[in-house]
Structure 1
Amino acid sequence: MSGLDHSALHRLYSEHNCWLKGWLRVRLGNAADASDLAQDTFLRVMTARVDAPIREPRGYLSAIARSLLIDKSRRRTIEQAYLFALAQMPEPVEVSPEVRLSIIEMLVAIDTLLDELGSRTREIFLAVQLEGLTYVATAERFGVSVTTVKNHLIRAMTRCLLLVEP
């Protein structure tokens, strides 16, 4: 458990759970999703390292919930893009629910990784990997040296390797 003791966590939950569900319901337009996300928020609180009393519990909870909302939205966007790509295949592709979940989780992890790279590294990485640009063409496009392109790619590939390493 986190730095919050059991009684402090219980008090936080009992005093703010209803408020948090309402706050989320307004943003989601759905009571069931709001309840699920409120539970996820308190799970994050349970696993967080909290070394001091929480002075602004609603601000703290809403910040965590907002982050979860963003994650949920990104995941939904990625899943929709994946399903759209499957639908565009010339022949129907059957994917089991387990494989589909695994693919979507990997796509979310890749999206997070790309987001953490920084804009220039991400743009260079995508230009080389997705567009198939050579290092020279990439350097010309971004107005940098080939060595700089290589350095950005090393940074990106290192992060990719860390993603696939257990």
Structure 2
Amino acid sequence: MGPTQLADHDVHRLYADHHGWLQAWIRRRTGCSQRAADLAQDTFLRVLSARAKGIAVYLEQPRAYLATIARGLVVDQWRRQQLEQAWLDTVAAHPGAVQASPEHSALILETLHEVDAMLRGLPGKVRRAFLLVQLEGLPHRVVASQLGVSDRMVKKYLAQALVHCAVLEAELDGLLVE
């Protein structure tokens, strides 16, 4: 069939024919029927969003198409849960620290998710150089040796990562919009 623009009846048919299957597919991967229901709905929202943007959809294998979207959503949720657990573990490990309000905690978690997404969007060596310098405090020459590149290349990698950080900061401050 190839790529096509979905009409209203196509979306309804896709949902009616595959929603139950998709929800069961997600439930097998997550072990949670509530999470499966939410992610199945989110999958169809992505389909509707693509349709609204005029993005062509491949309907030759609708289950493969839906599973690809759902798989990404499951991975994103798993990643979010890991990040949130790491935050909770960090807070619990410092009982003397000031406890943040639920609103402040939500802002911190959202910022952590944005930083995580930004880091995942960087090329591998750029991300690794940035983390080695910023988190490990390693000098450029040591990072260069670990990555098998020149000191100059490490500086380029760091500049590239810092540009991404500046864009993220501007987005978080509401200065940039998509």
Q: For residues 63 and 128 of structure 1, what CA distance do their matches in structure 2 show? A: 35
- Residue 144 of structure 1 deviates from its aligned partner by 2.6
Q: 1:43 aligns with which of 17, 42, 45?
A: 45
Aligned with 1:93 (options 79, 98, 107): 98
The residue identity in structure 1 corresponding to 2:163 is T
Q: How many angstroms apart in 2 are the aligned matches of 1:52 and 1:148? A: 40
Aligned with residue 65 of structure 2, among 51, 60, 68: 60
Deviating more after overlay: 155-164 vs 135-144: 135-144
Q: 1:4 to 1:102 in 2, by over 3 A?
A: farther
In structure 2, distance between residues paired with 1:87 and 1:17 = 40
Q: What is the aligned counterpart of 2:29 among 27, 30, 51?
A: 27
Unaligned stretches of 5+ in structure 1? none
**Partners of 1:33 and 1:112 in 2: how far apart?**
22
Give the alignment's TM-score, normalised by structure 1: 0.90
Conservation of the 8 A alpha-carbon contact between 1:86 and 1:93: no
Structure 1 SS opposite 2:143: helix
C-alpha contact (below 8 Å) 2:58/2:65 kept by paired residues:
no
Give the residue type in structure 1 aligned to 2:37.
S
Change (3 A) 1:25 1:90: closer
Alpha-carbon distance between aligned partners in 2 of 1:139 and 1:67, rounded to the nearest angstrom:
33
State the distance in 2 between where 1:149 and 1:88 align: 34
Aligned counterpart for 2:84 among listed residues 66, 79, 82: 79
| Deviation string, structure 1 residues 107-161 (Cα, Å, up to 9, x no partner) | 1221122122122111110111112223234334434322111100011111111
Q: Does 1:151 align with 2:120?
A: no
Distance 1:30 1:52, change over 3 A: closer
Count of matched residue pairs: 165
Identity of aligned residues (%): 42
> How high is the TM-score relative to the length of structure 2?
0.85
Q: 1:5 to 1:96 in 2, by over 3 A?
A: farther
- Structure 2 residue identity aligned to 1:84: D
- Flag as ranges the 4+ runs of structure 1 deviating above 3 A: 140-143
State which drifts further: 18-27 or 60-69. Answer: 18-27
Write the distance in 1 (CA, Å) between the matches of 2:119 and 2:90: 20
